[in-house]
Structure 1
Amino acid sequence: MSVDTIYKVILYPFITESIASLKAMTNLQGTAGDPFIDNVDDFRFKGYAVCSDVTGNLDGVIMMHHYPETAIAIGNSVCEKMFDEKYEHTEITEELSNALAEWGNTIVGRSTDLHGRYSLEYNFSSPYFVHDVSDMAKYLAGVTEVVTVPITVEGVGRYYFNLLVRSVDYQQVGIKREESRGIENTHTTTLETSSKILLVDDSAMIRKALKRYLAQLGYHNVIEADDGASAVTMVASESPDFMFMDVVMGEVNGDEALRQIRAAGSNVPIVMLSSVTDKVLVDKCKDLGISGFIFKPIQADSGAEIIKDYLKIA
C-alpha cells in the first residue's frame, strides 16, 4: 500500500482537521509537510500523544505526536483563545493537559466522524493519551509500517501525525472536510437571567469557559456536573431551568443521561455539546427532545454569541 494511498484515505482528514482546529482553537498557524515512511525500528516516542486505535480492515493506531515544548506552546495558546487571557506555562500542568485533551478530542472526534460518513470498513476508538515513554513498546508490537506527516507550527516548532500499521486491506476513498456550527435552537423565548443553568462536561476547562460566557450574558446562577450520572441526579435534586451537556464523557455519556432524564419525566431544555458531528447521534438526541446541538470548539471571541443563540425555551 503506497504512502499516498494511506495518506489520502486515513490520514488526510486528520491532517486537514488538525490544521483547521489549530487555527480555530489557538492563535497559531500550521502547515502540513509531505508524508513519508518512518523506520519502525528507529521510531521513538516524543513525549506526548493523543491516540485512536483503528480496527476492521485496517489494524493499527493513529497518533498525534508532540515534543513537550510544542505541546506546551499549543496548550498555552488553546487556553489563551478560550479565556482571552495570557498563558505562559513552561511545563505540562493539569490545565494545559486539559487544554490539549480538548484540542485532541476535537480533532479526533471530527476526523473519525468524517470517516464514518463513507461507510468504510474500519473503525476508530475514543481518543486516549500517552505520556509515558515506557508505554511505546506495546503500540509498536506487530507494526509493519509507520506513515508520518509533520505539521510545522509557525513560530513554535513541529508536531506529527503517525499511522502505525499492523495490517491493512481497504479501498481508496476521497474525503472532504465539512463545516458546521451545530443544530439551532428553534425556540423563540429567551431564558430569564435569573434561571438556574446546569453545565455537564467531564472537562473542567469547558465548564469554566461556558460559565464565563454565561456570566458575560448576565447568567450567574450556574451549577456543574462532571459526568452523566451526576447530571441525572442533579436534575432530580436541583431542578435546573436549562442545561448544556457534553455527549462523550468518562462513565455515563450525555446521550444516555439525556435518555434517563427524559425517562424520569423531566422536560428541562437541554442543549447538547460535542466535537463528534455524527448524524445518527444527533438524530438520537433530537428524538429524545433537545433544544439544540452545539459542535465544538467554542472560543472566547464567539462563545458568548453562540451560547446566546441557544438560551431559548419553548
Structure 2
Amino acid sequence: MSVETIYKVILYPFINESLASLKAMTNLTGSAGEAFMDNVDDFRFKGYAVCSEVTGNLDGVIMMHHYPETAVSIGNSVCQSMFGEAYEHTEMTDDLRNALAEWGNTIVGRSTDLHRRYSLDYGFSSPYFVEDLSQMDQYLDGVQEVVTVPITIDGVGRYYFNLLVRSVDYQEGGIKREESVAIENSHTKALAKDSRILLVDDSAMIRKALTRFLHVLGYSNVVEADDGTGAVELVKSNPPDFIFMDVVMDKLNGDKALAQIRALGSNVPIVMLSSVTDQLLVNSCKAQGISGFIFKPIQASNGTEIIQRYLKVAD
C-alpha cells in the first residue's frame, strides 16, 4: 500500500482535524508536511503521545506525539484558551496532561466520526494518553510499516502523526470535511440562579471550565460526576435541576446514562457535550429528550456565551 493511499484514507481526517482543533483550542497555527515511510527498526518516540488503536481493515495504532517542550507549549496554550488566563509551565503538570488529553480526544472524536460517516471500514478505540517512553515499545510489536506526517506549529515547534501498521486489507475511499450544527435548547424559561447544576465529564479540565463559566453567570450550586454511572446515582439520591453531560466517557457513556435517567422517570433538562458529531448519536439523544447538544471545543472566548444561551439567561 502506498504512502499516498494510507495518508488519504486514514491519516487525512486526523491531520485536518488536528490543524483545525489547534487553531480553535490554542489560537496557534500549524501546517502539515509531506507523509513519508519511517524505518520501523529506527523509529523512536519523541515523548508524550495520544494514541488510538485501529481495527477493521487495518490493524495498528494511530499516534499523535510530541517532543516534551512542544507538549508543554501546546498544553499551556490549551489551558490559556480554555480558562482565559496565562499558563507558563516549563514542565508537564496534571493540568497540561488533561489539556493534551482533551485536545487529543477532540481530534480523535471528530476524525473517527468522519470515517464512520463515509462507511470506511476502520474502527478506532477511545484515545489514551501515554508519557512513559518505556511503555511505548509495546506498540511496535508486529508493526510492518510506519507512516509519519510532521506538523509544524508557527513559533512553537513540531509534533507528529504516526500510523503504525501491523496488517491491512485496503479499500479505497474519499473523505471530505462536513460541519454539523448544534441543537439549541427549546426551553424559553431561564434557569433560576439557585438551581443545582450537575456537570458530567471524565475530563477534570472540562468540568473546571464549565464551573467557571457557570460562576460568571451567577450559578454557584454546581456538583460534578466523572462518569455516567455517577450521574445516574446522583439523579437517584439528590436530583439536580439541570445537567451538562459528555457523551464519550470511560465507564458509562453519556447517551447510555441519559437512557437510564429517563428510565427512572426523570425529566431533568440535559444538555449533551461531545467532540463526536455523529448524526445517529445526536438523533438518538434527541429521541430520549435533551435540551441541547454542544459540540466541543468550548473555550474561554465563547464558553460563557454558549452556556448562557442554553440556560436561557438574559443578557
TM-score, normalised to structure 2's length? 0.96
Instruction: Identify the residue that residue 97 of structure 1 maps to in structure 2.
Output: 97
Match of residue 278 from structure 2: 278
Counterpart residue number, 1:205:
205
TM superposition outliers: structure 1 runs of 4+ over 4 Å: none
Residue 73 of structure 1 is matched in structure 2 by: 73
Alignment of 1:1-314 (within 5 A): 1-312=1-312
- Spell out, residue by residue over 1:69-118, the C-alpha distance to the aligned partner (whole angstroms, 9 max, x if none): 11000000000000010001111111110010100000000000011101
Q: CA deviation at 1:179?
A: 2.4
Paired letter, 1:92: M
Q: Matched residues, percent identical?
A: 76
RMSD: 1.3
Q: Deviations over 1:257-293 (max 9, x none)?
A: 1111111111000001111111222122111111111
3-state secondary structure, aligned to 1:120: coil
Cα drift, residue 205 of structure 1: 0.9
Q: Bigger shift: 252-261 or 102-111? A: 252-261
Read off the aligned partner of 2:242 and give its amino acid letter. F
**Could you say what secondary structure the match of 1:218 adopts?**
coil
Deviation at 1:236, TM superposition (A): 2.0
Mapped partners of 1:85, 1:100: distance in 2: 17
Alpha-carbon separation, structure 2, partners of 1:147 and 1:258: 39
1:256 and 1:33 mapped to 2: Cα distance? 40
1:181 shift after superposition: 4.8
- Which one-letter code corresponds to 1:64 in the other structure? M
Q: Residue 237 of structure 1: CA displacement? A: 2.1
Distance 2:227 2:312 in 1: 24
- In 1, Cα distance between equivalents of 2:137 and 2:72: 25
- TM superposition shift of 1:246: 0.8
Distance in 1 separating the partners of 2:87 and 2:33: 28
Q: Distance in 2 between matches of 1:79 and 1:62?
A: 25
Point out the more displaced range, 232-241 or 37-46: 232-241
- More displaced stretch, 188-197 vs 2-11: 188-197
Higher mean Cα deviation, 271-280 or 303-312? 303-312
2:32 partner letter: A
Give the Å deviation of 1:312.
Answer: 4.4
Counterpart CA distance in 2 for 1:222 and 1:248 is 21
Gaps of 5+ in 1: none
> Quick one: distance in 1 between partners of 2:181 and 2:80?
21
Q: CA deviation at 1:61?
A: 0.8
Summarize deviations over 1:171-195 as a string: whole Å, max 9, x none: 2222112223522212222212221
**Which stretch of the first structure deviates more once superposed, 138-147 or 9-18?**
138-147
Kindly provide the amino acid, as one letter, of the partner of residue 186 in structure 1: S
* Partner AA of 2:98 in structure 1: N
What letter matches 2:238 in structure 1? E
Q: How many residues are treated as equivalent by the alignment?
A: 313
Equivalent-residue separation in structure 2 for 1:254 and 1:158 (angstroms): 34
Q: What does the per-residue CA deviation read over 1:54-78, in whole Å, with 9 as the maximum and x for residues that have no partner? A: 1111111100011111100000000
Q: Secondary structure at the match of 1:206?
A: helix
Task: Tell me, in whole angstroms, the C-alpha distance in 2 between the residues paired with 1:45 and 1:90.
Answer: 20
* Distance in 2 separating the partners of 1:204 and 1:136: 25
Q: After TM superposition, give the deviation of residue 136 of structure 1 in Å.
A: 2.3
Displacement, 1:20?
Answer: 0.3
> What is the DSSP-based 3-state SS (H/G/I as helix, E as strand, rest coil) of the residue aligned with 1:298?
coil
